[in-house]
Structure 1
């Protein structure tokens, strides 16, 4: 082997290289078995009935062979192949937070806890330790109009370490000690504050900004799913389903950050920052194709549904956390908050009357300037929601103008006035129905509301008011381990479709005519015997109308024919002294017992003043009928 010299004067003999390589291979050679599957061919073998097209542009892995001179590019190929498989599997799992990565805020800093997330391209975003970021102008980019910040997690990498280079002609054994390389590749995350904006945000009142931001963010997310079956925005027509390509596949995900929450300025004119995690934070919930088609079909992915519930719970519980009882510092439920607001309303009423009646010389007001200051203070206070004529709904006082389609409220489900307390939470612009259920039935009701719209609480004229069911877990559990005296919460859901109760199919009926027959001068004993006279009963009959009986049964309901018969019999008694003396039941069929039962039930319905009337039933009669026989009273 010819001797090779490097540009820097370094040299080595070919024999030495061969000896060193052989020695290395004898110690480190690893034999890798071939794949069980045979390599694919680009052409079909002669005589084969199978044809196909092969594309090998997918994953590339190293194909180890004895005699391969292993280089850095080969090791890189091994790593790239492993990374490609990992990202493909992670992409199928979905994007979002796997665990951890919670946000906590102090006055001037934001802390992100350790955790794991998956980016839209399937990169694993691992934060090994907590990171704290100052909240100041140096770390936050400028906000646009109507702006806020999205806290995002992105993939990041760099190299580290220092090691000498071996095997390079120009750097191995050089006089200056040779070159060095950074032998480690470190992967981690970048936490970024991305400016975002929602039109109209700057104009929202300070006490409504938090709830408005989450509601508008969720609505933008819904419209971004490009729903095919409902309007994507207000006033946008819904095209025919035939206008869409139902074979359209889900597009590949782009490399975006994984949102962890939003940071906003509660008051544009003042300082401080507000934090909302679940407005933007989403948990891993399956592949992109799943959520893409859910969005097109106007469905709400589970991760977004869960985020809306959790965002509301964090918002409302954070709002009432400061309302505590002096004894024991027990957090008040929303019903107690409502009671407090009603009491404050009464105080405002008293203050209004005082201000209207006060004079500078009264009540210790020493001069006109002091009276003027008191008047100005009242005018400012009168703009508070507490100064309204109606009791203030808790939701309005807390700045909540929209609810998720389902959620939980800190309310005492066993309170005597629970219906009024519930109405005091939502206000008068929604229709509330209270239902008492078992606690285990609530989860199913919550799940059923996943794809329903969010619930606006403001005035909706001329649109109909939203309908809400409030579920009280007050029915006793039949499983001993789950039985408790109180739960301390109630649930609410946007009401689903009302069940349509179809009328039961009417059973086939048959009519039996009712007649009254006068037998003037004839006295009938208890044994009514008309054998041989049935054919003659048709003469002198007065028709009272039909009775409808279910076919083949004797069930009887009061009818017009019965009322008419009662009135006729009363008239005959009052005017002519005629009383019913017996009943004849006729049937064209063979069932005399059925005819007798029908006639007996009809007779009982006539009048309790009549004594028991004898009944004689005849089968194979010329028609179906009930004949009431009346005759003059025996005393005449």
Structure 2
């Protein structure tokens, strides 16, 4: 008895060469088509995307595309070895349309001259020739996309807003099973990966015309070839963020941030610049020959000049960034305000809840990767954001990730991360003054304590033992005293800071000697163990 089987239709056809076959051009084409089919089918299994190159630059109204290699949805290699230029001056005025820059197979270009023969032993037929070679390259094209609300955004907000809309449309368009209202058993779990039906283009970026002229963003649409189609499909269905999308969202944010940090306008002058530009536009409409020039000159001076002495620090929102990827990196420049306050200045008055962790750089990379499937960070929303400060050298950056909340009693992730410091109060310096002096500085904390958001709990063993060891060591010197100071960022949190400091400073051994507990206002929340000399006998 033989096992049942069935031969499936389809497959790849090749030339069945045999002795006696008169080899013609048709047969050579069949051999070439067979090799090409094998190559494209194998490449299709690896997925579409950019392999290398194809970077975009925009100068005035000219788009330049560098050489590169990409694979389309059919497995065809799209290769170019020269810089391409595209004139965009014809694009329509500012409105609700942006254009997606796409890479598609180009028209085959014939080349080479070969004589044409009537038969193998004849002379060339009347001196005729044919083009014997075909070069298959790539073409860059623009496809318009209408997006309502684009022209309603401020000029500085358009790029970040467009990125947010594109990424969200990409997520919902991928059909996430676990992020929909459908019943779990309504989905076809029994089926495998279906044949792709995507449009056969490789996106390279987007361009749009704002009131300030043409704008370009490469990473909004560009996706690197880093995953197979099946992996991307199932990650999307299970509510995960595919690797290529996570990479693109981080790079999009970093590229925009790098641009606005280099050309940022002081927050105090942005409103004036907008007014001047609006008045200049009105003057042009009225055919005023002098006012627009003066107004534009003032705007250019404000945009290119130094920040006013009384201008506050620029925030992410000031620079047109209202939404962040689930993880990313922030520049850290030398500042007298310290690491934590510098980061808080970047976030400004946003509603996010910041927590800080000091760790080694490899620990940072691990936590950035963990955040891959978390939602994006909307700065107007009160979401937890963890900031990771790498130790072991001045690297000039910190990382951030969206925090997670599981329950009000769970402190394994998310929650309030409170740094704990140890310092000594000098002569004439009170414990409270010493505490606020060290908070926000570059002094390394002895550890961090995690608490539920807006609540207190028993601190972790590691930081608790460190504090208790400091207290025990200090108790041996009768000329020194201990004060545990809870630092709160607002008056309503002073009782909470005192409760957290009390738990950290309390010894649960027989006949414990309780340190003094203080609570003060400071730039960031922290707990500081302050060692100070006791007042000499007879002094107040």
Q: TM-score, normalised by structure 2?
A: 0.64
Where in structure 2 are the equivalents of 1:226-375 lying within 5 Å? 226-231=175-180, 238-253=181-196, 254-267=198-211, 272-322=213-263, 341=267, 344=268
Equivalent position of 2:366 in the other structure: 444
Distance between the aligned counterparts of 2:130 and 2:98, measured in 1? 43
Match status 1:491 vs 2:435 = no
CA–CA distance in structure 2, aligned partners of residues 322 and 502 of structure 1: 40
Tell me the distance in 2 between the aligned counterparts of 1:413 and 1:63. Answer: 72
Task: Name the structure 1 match of 2:99.
Answer: 149
Unpaired segments of 5 or more residues in structure 1? 1-47, 232-237, 324-336, 349-372, 477-483, 504-603, 606-636
Q: Is the 8 A contact 1:449 1:496 kept in 2?
A: no
Question: For 2:263 and 2:314, how far apart are their aligned partners in 1?
Answer: 18
In the other structure, the counterpart of 2:167 is 218
> Residue 108 of structure 1: which of 61, 70, 84 is its match?
61
| Contact 1:98–1:117 under 8 Å retained in 2 | yes
Q: Which structure: larger Rg?
A: 1
Q: 1:59 to 1:129 in 2, by over 3 A?
A: same
Q: Which residue of the other structure, out of 185, 199, 203, is the alignment partner of 2:152?
A: 203
Given that 2:340 and 2:356 are in contact with CA atoms closer than 8 Å, whether structure 1 keeps it comes out as yes
Counterpart CA distance in 2 for 1:305 and 1:262 is: 18
Residue 164 of structure 1: CA displacement? 2.7
Q: Distance in 2 between matches of 1:252 and 1:160?
A: 36
Task: Indicate yes or no: 2:28 matched with 1:75.
Answer: yes
- What secondary structure, in the 3-state scheme, does the structure 1 residue paired with 2:16 have? coil
Contact 1:109 1:132 in 2 (8 A): yes
Is the contact made by 2:227 and 2:244 (CA closer than 8 Å) also made in structure 1? no
Describe how 1:464-543 pairs up with structure 2 within 5 A. 465-474=382-391, 476=392, 484=393, 486-497=394-405
Distance in 1 (CA, whole Å) between partners of 2:186 and 2:227 is 28
1:91 shift after superposition: 1.0
Q: CA deviation at 1:197?
A: 2.3
Alignment partner of 1:130 out of 55, 77, 83: 83
Structure 2: any 5+ residue segments left out of the alignment? 273-293, 413-509, 512-540
Q: Name the SS of the counterpart of 2:57 in structure 1.
A: strand
In the TM superposition, residue 84 of structure 1 has moved relative to its aligned partner by: 0.7
Q: Distance in 2 between matches of 1:187 and 1:124?
A: 9
Contact between 2:227 and 2:243, CA under 8 Å: does it hold in 1? no
| Secondary structure of the structure 1 residue equivalent to 2:126 | coil
Q: Hey, what's the Cα distance between the residues in 2 that align with 1:247 and 1:413? A: 57
Residues 75/89 of structure 1: CA separation in 2 closer, same or farther (3 Å cut): same
Match of 2:354 in 1: 432
Aligned partner of 1:167 among 118, 134, 137: 118
Map of 1:591-606 to 2, 5 A cutoff?
none
Question: What secondary structure is seen at the aligned counterpart in 1 of 2:373?
Answer: coil
Structure 1 counterpart of 2:451: none
Shift of 1:229: 1.1
Paired residue for 1:397, among 298, 301, 318? 318
- 1:495 & 1:256 partners in 2: Cα distance? 37
CA shift at 1:198, angstroms?
Answer: 2.0
Q: Residues of 2 paired with 1:263 and 1:502: CA distance?
A: 44
Distance 1:96 1:155, change over 3 A: same
Q: Which deviations, in whole Å up to 9, do the C-alpha atoms of 1:323-365 show, x marking residues without a partner?
A: 6xxxxxxxxxxxxx9xx75xx59x99xxxxxxxxxxxxxxxxx
SS of corresponding position for 1:442 = helix
Structure (1 or 2) with the greater strand fraction: 2
Structure-2 change in CA distance of 1:195 and 1:172 (3 Å)? farther
CA pair 144-473 structure 1, distance change in 2 beyond 3 A: closer
Secondary structure class of the residue paired with 2:89: coil
SS of 2:101 mapped into structure 1: strand
SS of aligned partner of 2:177: coil
Cα distance in 1, alignment partners of residues 165 and 66 from structure 2: 27
Q: Tell me the residue number matched to 1:589.
A: none
Corresponding residue SS for 1:177: strand
8 Å contact kept, 1:109–1:135: yes
Q: Partner of 2:256: helix, strand, or coil?
A: helix
Q: Secondary structure at the match of 1:51?
A: coil
Q: Note the C-alpha offset of 1:99.
A: 0.6
In the alignment, the residues of structure 2 paired with residue 440 and residue 404 of structure 1 have an alpha-carbon distance, to the nearest angstrom, of 20
Q: Flag the 1:82–1:413 CA change in 2: closer, same or farther, 3 A.
A: farther
Provide the rounded CA distance (Å) in 1 between the counterparts of 2:128 and 2:194.
46
Distance 2:372 2:73 in 1: 24
Distance 1:322 1:501, change over 3 A: closer
Using the alignment, how far apart are the partners of 1:442 and 1:502 within structure 2?
Answer: 19
Counterpart-to-counterpart distance in 1, 2:334 and 2:174:
38
Match for residue 120 of structure 1? Answer: 73
Does the 8 A contact of 1:119 with 1:258 survive in 2?
yes
Alpha carbons of structure 1 residues 65 and 97: separation in structure 2 relative to 1, 3 Å: same
**Equivalenced residues, count:** 379
Q: Is this contact kept in 2: 1:433–1:468, CA < 8 A? A: yes
Output one character per residue of 1:460-517: Cα deviation in whole Å (capped at 9) or x when no partner.
4xxxx1110111113x4xxxxxxx3x111011100134586699xxxxxxxxxxxxxx
- Going from structure 1 to structure 2, the CA distance change for 1:63 and 1:445 (only over 3 Å counts) comes to same
In 1, the alpha carbon distance for the partners of 2:312 and 2:190 equals 54
Deviations 1:194-227 (A, max 9, x none): 1112221121121211111111111111111111
Q: Distance in 2 between matches of 1:287 and 1:247?
A: 20
Offset of residue 104 of structure 1: 1.4
Aligned-pair CA distance for 1:251: 3.0
1:282-327, Cα deviation, whole Å (9 max, x unpaired): 100222222111111111011110111011001011101136xxxx
